[in-house]
Amino acid sequence: MKVNKNDLDPRQVANGIRSRVLDLSIKRGGGNLSQACSSAEIMAALYTRMMNITDLEEPLTPKKFVGAPSATNKDSFTGDDYNGIRGPQYDRFYLSPSQYSIVLYATLAETGRMTNEGFNLFGEDGYVIEHIGESHSPGMDINGGSLGQAISQAAGIALARKLRGDTGRQFVFLGDGECQLGQTWEAVQAMCYRQLDNMVVIVDENGQQCDGKIDDVCGCVQLDKRFEAFGCKVVKVDGHDVDALIEAAKVKEEGKPLVIMAKTSPYQGMDVLKEKGTRIHYVRLTQDDKPKFQACLDKLQA
């Protein structure tokens, strides 16, 4: 049951991502709902159109954890096989805020890369499909999660691939809250200095971080101007407009990393989430909440 990504409608995929994340959150009593709301179109556009990656012959099911990589652990693996064949012409995907892991897993499930049974293993002890994914988790092959590090690692990979003559690009999904970190700017500085135009950074500008709204926590202003000042090519889009996202990924300026600033809403497609206020990084759903969120899910699935 091979799925051709070009046959998929990114809007439907986005809808499916929200549905899957909401469904699982209702079942488990909570989840990263705001992340699914803000990034569903971005993830859907990435996996259906923006990235040059191969389709899978058949969807995969998350494996059991076999121990962290080490010199003696020959069984350890990464989750990059969910992203298709490795090859010089193919793009790579790097999720920086692993707090979005469930959104990535839902995307893989919606695009024929992960089985339904596999997706439902989310958070099961002993499996690699964890709440905060690691290099072994589906769709990943480096450690994000400790914020600010994935962009640097991807830049190192971008340089290595440039030296080798690969034409594939590195797509890094970045949170806007992460732009408070010093390392993010160390990385952007290095990317621009090394002219890594095979880097594409997509910033999910949902204005949210763990403690609440970015504006209420510490602020993180004028990101587009900051990226530009460092030497990036910046494209600003509505992050819920898949056509705009797809077009943005086609922008190329020699010698400049591309940054797509995707303005999003953390409540998109889930109005009921507004009742939870602004601290919606991880949303707990009580028995009282569940009927309202179930109604929202029914609407999404209709």
Partner 1 sequence: MERLVKVYDTNFVKWAKDKPEVLSLSADLTGGCEIRDFQATYPDRFYSMGIAEQNMHSFAGGLASEGYVPFIHTFAVFIYRRSLDQVHMSIAHPNAKVRMVGSVPGVTSPAGATHQAMDDIGVMRTVPNMTIIECGDATDVESFFPLSEQVDGPIYVRVLRGEMPRLFNTPMAINKSRMLSDGDDIVLLSSGVCTEEAMRAVHAIQKQGITVHHRHVTCLKPFDDQELMDAIKKSKHGVLTMENHNVLGGLGSIVADKMAEQGIAQKLYKIGIQDEYMHGGSKLYLMKRYGLDAMAVVKKVEEMLDKTLNITEDMLEDFHFELMNDDTRALGV
Residues in contact with partner 1 by CB under 8 A are: 68-71, 134-135, 141-143, 145-146, 148-150, 152-161, 164, 182-183, 186-187, 189-190, 193-194
CB 59 within 8 A of CB 1: yes
Shortest Å, Cβ 130 to partner 1: 14
How many Å is the Cα radius of gyration of the chain?
18
Shortest Å, Cβ 145 to partner 1: 7
Dihedral pair phi/psi, residue 26, rounded to 5°: -65, -45
Question: What whole-number distance in Å separates Cα of residue 255 and Cα of residue 269?
Answer: 37
Smaller CB distance to partner 1: residue 12 or 146?
146
What type of residue is 34? S
> What b/e sequence results for 207-246 when a residue is b if at least 16 CB atoms lie within 10 Å of its CB, and e otherwise?
bbbeeebbeeeeebeebbebbeebebbbbbbebbebebbb
Shortest Å, Cβ 164 to partner 1: 7
Shortest Å, Cβ 192 to partner 1: 11
Smaller CB distance to partner 1: residue 4 or 146?
146
Smaller CB distance to partner 1: residue 50 or 142?
142
Judge residue 250's burial from the number of C-beta atoms within 10 Å of its C-beta, 0-12 exposed, 13-18 middle, 19 or more buried: exposed
Shortest Å, Cβ 103 to partner 1: 21
Smaller CB distance to partner 1: residue 135 or 206?
135
Shortest Å, Cβ 206 to partner 1: 24
CB 104 within 8 A of CB 36: no
Smaller CB distance to partner 1: residue 44 or 191?
191
Smaller CB distance to partner 1: residue 189 or 301?
189
Helix pair angle (182-193, 223-230), 10° resolution? 40
Dihedral pair phi/psi, residue 77, rounded to 5°: -145, 170
- The sign of the dihedral angle between the CA atoms of 174, 101, 111, 44 is negative
